[in-house]
Amino acid sequence: MARARSTDVERSLGRRMRGVAGLAALAGLAWVARDVPAALGGRLSGARAERAARSPQFRDGTFHNQAGTRTMVAEPGRNLVRELIFGKQKRRPTTPVPLLRPSAPPGSADASDELNIVWYGHASTLIEIEGRRVLLDPVWSERCSPSGLVGPRRLHGPPVGIDELPPLDAILISHDHYDHLDMATVRALLAGQSAPFLVPLGVGAHLDRWGVPAERIIELDWSESHRVAGLEITATAAQHFSGRGLRRDGTLWSSWVVAGARRKVFYTGDSGYFDGYAAIGAEHGPFDVTLMQIGAYDRAWPTIHMFPEEAVDAHVDLRGGLFVPVHWATFNLALHDWSEPVDRLWAEAKARDVRLAVPRPGERVVVDEPPAVDGWWQAVA
């Protein structure tokens, strides 16, 4: 009898422990997921929604590209999920990606002629132009995801801490995908910088939800410009899509032109190749340097991300001078080899006599005296 009572007590204790463990697991999941609703961002309403509805890019409740596009193209006989799991591509570097701390700016007696680029990884890039500083698509988080637990994880760390960035004059966001717009990074820049955020139409709703004051949010449609710190910054067309949850294309996407009195920079954001590059080049070019998306492409989504050879086509259309590739190396977002984008780019640039610089993350590129391409990525691929 005593043995039976002992067994009952053990079973009861076991059930209680399993119950406690289950509650602890749920609490842990809730803690990890606590920021997910906020990270999804805001939605258009009020005056912001009314302004979006007046955009030539907006109809039937969403934003649209100039030409028809598809975010996924079916390919008979190809299983993307199987390829993702069992594919033979080398999608990660085999050794650590070399990081550099940006060297001191070269300095010049004439700051009005200054033009340098610091690429921090993926699309996050600093433009130093005529004594001003413009930061593009900053993402300092470990994952590009609404969750800190799941989602694409960095393949290399940021070369500098976000608190080590110099004082900024403007922060540009190309669109609201997680690898370009990151809540934690925005909040850090809100606290540590005073620069305004320039964003495509609708993206201000996300910033609103994250506590960015209205006076620091400037929303632009394609072909609209804003002057800040003596620079003319213009939102220009791109061919992509948007969305942070289940809803697609509720905010606009864009490329950007950053123009000083003497120097000009173009940044693609994310985009497929389209005729708009020639129009942008004719209206705003020539450009001293173009920052061009080269990674995360696939024949399953050919109209929303450029292949490296198409990026060279776009650079030529834009009347670009120096080509600096971005949107590669940092996050694993496609099925190609980690080093394939830049290998293909280098070959195409040489074949077409395009000036190219491929910096290591954190390396400062002086546009008028760029470093020679040395194939550094091949040693770690």
CATH of the domain at 317: 3.60.15.10
> Is 281 in a helix, a strand, or coil?
helix
At residue 309, the pLDDT reads 98
pLDDT given for residue 106 in this prediction: 73
For residue 208, the enclosing domain spans 111-379
Q: Let me know if residue 9 belongs to a domain.
A: no
Per-residue pLDDT, 109: 53
> How many separate domains does the chain show?
1
Q: Is residue 17 part of a domain?
A: no
Q: Rounded CA gap, 145 and 379, in Å?
A: 29
State the DSSP code for 230: T
Alpha carbons within 13 A on the beta-carbon side of 130? 15
Adjacent-strand bridge partners of 309: none
How many whole angstroms from its chain centre is CA 66? 22
> Does 195 reside within a domain?
yes
**What per-residue confidence (pLDDT) applies to 267?**
99
**Residue 112 contacts residue 131 (beta carbons within 8 Å):** yes
In a domain, 69, yes or no: no
Please name the residue that has the structure tokens 């760390």.
Answer: 157
Residue 64 domain flag: no
78 located within any domain: no
Q: Which residues, in sequence order, are CB contacts of 6 under 8 Å at separation 6+?
A: none
State the Cα–Cα distance between residues 89 and 262, nearest whole angstrom: 44
* pTM of the model as a whole: 0.91
> Residue 55 has which token pair?
């955009």
370 within some domain: yes
Q: Which two tokens stand for residue 242?
A: 């948007």
Which residues does the chain have with pLDDT short of 70?
1-34, 107-110
| Short-list 130, 140, 320, CA closest to 233 | 130
Cα 28–chain centre separation? 30
What is the rounded CA–CA span in Å between residue 136 and residue 123?
7
Give the residue from 344, 340, 342, 345 showing the smallest Cα distance to 360. 342
* Distance separating alpha carbons of residues 44 and 42, to the nearest angstrom: 7
* 310 domain residue, yes or no: yes
Q: Are 362 and 100 contacting, i.e. CB atoms less than 8 angstroms apart?
A: yes
